[in-house]
Amino acid sequence: MSEFLPRYARVRASLIERLASGEWAPGTSLPSEIALAAEMEVSQGTVRKAMDSLVADGALNRVQGRGTFVAEQTPELANFRFLRIVDGDGQRVIPELLSWTAKTEPADDRIAQDLSLKKRADLHRIDRIRAIDGTPALLETIRVPLGVMPGLGQPDAMPNALYPWYQSEHGVTVLRTDDRLRAVAADADAATALSVPAGTPLLECVRVAYDLTDRAVEHRISHILTNAHAFSVRLG
């Protein structure tokens, strides 16, 4: 083990650990920079540098004069941060939930590999249909390892945005995702669910989501009808 990290990196690691442990709840404030600096026996500037990187990663929010807060996933923010659906004018739209089912199943080899799990590890599986501007446009198959969210059984209710729910109900904060995008033809099931002819081009998004400890916490396959909308991305 090499422990020759700069101090700000050790402060950062310590903060991540304490955030992941739930020591500070989402939306609440952290101790002040001066207090943390005293506690960790470093200067305020070093704490600041560590926090800068966590703010950049979206794990913390700072408000001048008020304090530093654990970033809270809200449906509005999470939707636009991770699922940037826009209409023809570039205006963001938010899909609404139409229907869903939930069950448990073992991971197939591909999913297990994507999520760095053992073969046939237990998964929660959720299938959802969502609508954009009133028409069904989004088919999602979501898989979450049982080990990541043991409490996610057969849910009573299903929220529209999942990431805020993961955070508030299961203590899992999604900070980033890796998405692989392709164009595919709608198969018979998808065509029925979306009320389009089989073969209609759909945008397929295969995503792995990671939490603040860089653990893979969700696998999601989305099929999106992009006749009137687009998936917006900023690169660079």
Counting contacts by CB under 8 A, is residue 182 touching a second copy?
A: yes
Counting contacts by CB under 8 A, is residue 161 touching a second copy?
A: no
Q: Which of 15, 16, 19, 30 binds DNA (CB under 7 A)?
A: 30
Find the part of the chain contacting a second copy (CB under 8 A) among 139-147, 150-158, 187-195, 221-229.
221-229
C-alpha–C-alpha distance, residues 193 and 133, integer Å? 16
Q: Of these partners, a second copy, DNA, none, which one is at the site of residue 176 (CB under 5 to 8 Å by kind)? A: a second copy
Q: Report the relative pairing of strands 60-63 and 174-185 from DSSP bridges.
A: unpaired
- Binders of DNA among 45-104, rule CB under 7 A? 45-46, 48-49, 62-68
The helix or strand, by DSSP H or E, that contains position 31, with its residue range, turns out to be none
- Binders of a second copy among 62-81, rule CB under 8 A? 81
Q: Which of 8, 82, 165, 166 binds a second copy (CB under 8 A)?
A: 82
Q: Which of 1, 63, 157, 183 binds a second copy (CB under 8 A)?
A: 183
Counting contacts by CB under 8 A, is residue 203 touching a second copy?
A: yes
Number of Cβ atoms within 10 Å of the Cβ of 195: 11
Counting contacts by CB under 8 A, is residue 232 touching a second copy?
A: yes
Dihedral, CA of residue 40, residue 44, residue 49 and residue 53, to nearest 10:
70
Q: What does the buried/exposed string (b/e) look like for 116-145 if buried means 16 or more CB atoms within 10 Å of the residue's CB?
A: ebeeeeebbbbebbbbbeeebbbbbebbbb
Counting contacts by CB under 8 A, is residue 90 touching a second copy?
A: yes
The helix or strand, by DSSP H or E, that contains position 52, with its residue range, turns out to be helix 44-56
Query: Residue 10: is it exposed, middle or buried by C-beta count within 10 angstroms (0-12/13-18/19+)?
Result: middle
Q: Which of 16, 19, 33, 202 binds DNA (CB under 7 A)?
A: 33
Total residues binding DNA (CB under 7 A): 24
CA distance readout (Å), 177 to 49, 191, 197, 211, 232: 24, 27, 31, 9, 14
Q: Report the relative pairing of strands 174-185 and 96-106 from DSSP bridges.
A: unpaired
C-alpha–C-alpha distance, residues 96 and 159, integer Å? 10
Least CB distance to a second copy at residue 204 (A): 8
Cβ atoms of 183 and 204 closer than 8 Å: yes
Least CB distance to a second copy at residue 99 (A): 23
Count of residues in the chain: 236
Counting contacts by CB under 8 A, is residue 176 touching a second copy?
A: yes
Q: Which of 58, 67, 155, 171 binds a second copy (CB under 8 A)?
A: 58
Residues contributing to the site for a second copy (CB under 8 A):
56-58, 81-82, 86, 90, 174-185, 199-204, 206, 210, 224, 226, 229-236
Residues contributing to the site for DNA (CB under 7 A):
6-9, 30, 32-35, 41-46, 48-49, 62-68
